[in-house]
Amino acid sequence: MTKEQIKKKVLAFNDWEFWFNRPFGAFLMSCFKGGQSRKYMRNAGVDVEWPAILFQNSAWFKSEKVWNIFEAELKKYGKDKVFEVVKYCENYAKPAEKRIIRISKISASPKEKLLELYDIFTQVASFIWLAHGMEHLYNKILHEEAPKYMTGDVEKNIGDISFPKKKNANFYFEQVLKSNLSLEKVRQRFGWIKARGGFADGFSIKELAVERNRLKAESKKDKKFVRPRIHPKLKDLAAIAQELVYFRTLRTDILFELMWIARPVLTEIAKSFGLTFKELQDYSIFDLVKGELEKYEYEKFSAISYGKELALLHEPIFFEKARVGRAELKGAVAFEGVVSGIVKVVMTAQEIEKVNMGDILVAPTTAPSFIFGMRKAAAFVTDEGGITSHAAIVAREMKKPCIIGTKIATKVFKDGDLVEVDANKGIVKIINPR
């Protein structure tokens, strides 16, 4: 297919809407395209394929029609498949790390090494798509069943029973940071947590030192999340929800840790093409393998795929409707409370340092790389996310007001706005209008 033919096929799903922002370049988009394929999905134990993707201006777009097609394929499998896929993902990390170390030592051409790294990263990308599809399916089922056995705020209750039992990498990172292990060793092991997108900088020794002092001072104040009683009829669904919440963080943790481990090899590959490591993010893996270097400028390119076909373009696929700023927004309540503070809009983890004690953290979404800022913030407000999103889970852990799913908070609010977060009603409003 030509690029125009792919574009026509993708736009035939005429319900695309803004989903969420991500700091991804053409290199990583190559892996996401491969990860949606039936080949890599089969490796994860499910014979399915993600129909189409649309990414532009550093944002993913979502089509309910696309999601429903994928959901219908997933319905062929029973609930045990969720646990099987997660187990496979867990077991994938160590062998993949060994493959990367082997690649760094073998005598092979840069293109051969690049193809093997592509295979490693793309397999993880298939888990990323599977997590989205499985959540879409079981979130619907949980919302159908939960009201039959719950009273009161059903959304909050669903969030509470979905709180994962398994610990993610950030938990172990904080445990190590609170220990007496040297900060250099902490950085070597966990510096990747800040490097979301694969090409960003990791934690510095200075950042780790500041956070170590704060963690040790605050550890005595931490309150453990109290799990609610789960109705017997919901136990199976709750177990699936808990596994999927854990899976959401696991899959991206594995991807970015593997990319962190592969940095020396990626730097070597970049150099062979006359590029720096960070410049590599703007080039498609498929073009690099063919020796055709075409730069897709970060934040200004688009990526679309339909079936096996991928197209990268230098302009938007379509023009979004203007998202008009307002002085008040509504969203879903992840954790209750009312607090006022100064807005700090954080689009990526590289901006998290600007959050001060008592600020209101406004972000497209949050991730483990945002934890340092989340500990200082008085409340969280996000564009995306459901009641089982990272921000919602951390809000329950930290007992901080949190409103999620506003869709446009990062477009409406600016750094320095004084806002009130009323997480009892799900409303965020400016109280010092300019």
What's the distance, Cα to Cα, between the start and end of the chain in Å? 50
Cα 60 from Cα 137, distance rounded (Å): 19
Is the distance from CB of 391 to CB of 405 less than 8 angstroms? no
pTM of the model: 0.88
Write the DSSP symbol of residue 86. H
**Closest to 240 (Cα-Cα) out of 140, 123, 94:** 140
pLDDT of residue 325 exceeding 70, the answer is no
The pLDDT of residue 306 is: 93
How far apart CA 197 and CA 31 sit, in angstroms, is 12
Pairing, β 360-363 against β 59-62: unpaired
pLDDT at residue 220 greater than cutoff 80 = no
pLDDT of 332: 86
* Gap between the Cα atoms of 411 and 247, Å rounded: 29
- Tell me the per-residue pLDDT of 295-307, one tens digit each, with 9 for 90 and over: 999 889 999 999 8
Q: What is the pLDDT of residues 364-409, one digit of tens each?
A: 888 888 888 998 999 999 988 776 788 888 888 888 999 998 888 9
Does the pLDDT value for residue 434 go beyond 80?
Answer: no
Q: Name residue 295's beta-bridge partners.
A: 283
Nearest to 212, CA basis, from 190, 230, 243: 190
Q: Yes or no: say if 126 and 53 are a contact pair by the CB < 8 Å rule.
A: no
Q: Residue 135's closest CA among 387, 368, 306?
A: 387
- Banded model confidence at residue 214, pLDDT cuts 50, 70, 90: confident
97 is written with which tokens?
């790390």
- Topology adopted by domain 328-424: Glucose Oxidase; domain 1 (3.50.30)
C-alpha 394/C-alpha 30 separation (Å) is 31
Give CA–CA dist 418/378, Å, rounded.
13
Question: What are the tokens at 50?
Answer: 């993600």
Closest of 363, 373, 369 to residue 404, by C-alpha: 363
Quickly tell me which residue has 């963690």 as its tokens.
Answer: 215
Neighbouring residues of 39: CB distance < 8 A, sequence distance ≥ 6: none
| pLDDT (tens digit per residue) in 89-120 | 999 999 999 999 999 999 999 999 999 999 99
| Cα–Cα dist 101/106, whole Å | 9
The answer to whether 284 touches 296, Cβ cutoff 8 Å, is: yes
What are the structural domain ranges in the chain?
A: 3-153+231-313, 169-221, 328-424
User: Which tens digit of pLDDT belongs to each residue from 272-300?
Assistant: 999 999 999 999 999 999 998 999 998 89
389 DSSP 8-state letter? S
Nearest to 73 by CA among 46, 53, 43, 52: 46
d(CA 66, CA 243): 24
Q: Which residues pair with 304 in a beta bridge?
A: 54, 311
Residue 386 tokens read as: 């459901």
* Distance from C-alpha of 330 to C-alpha of 426, rounded to nearest angstrom: 6
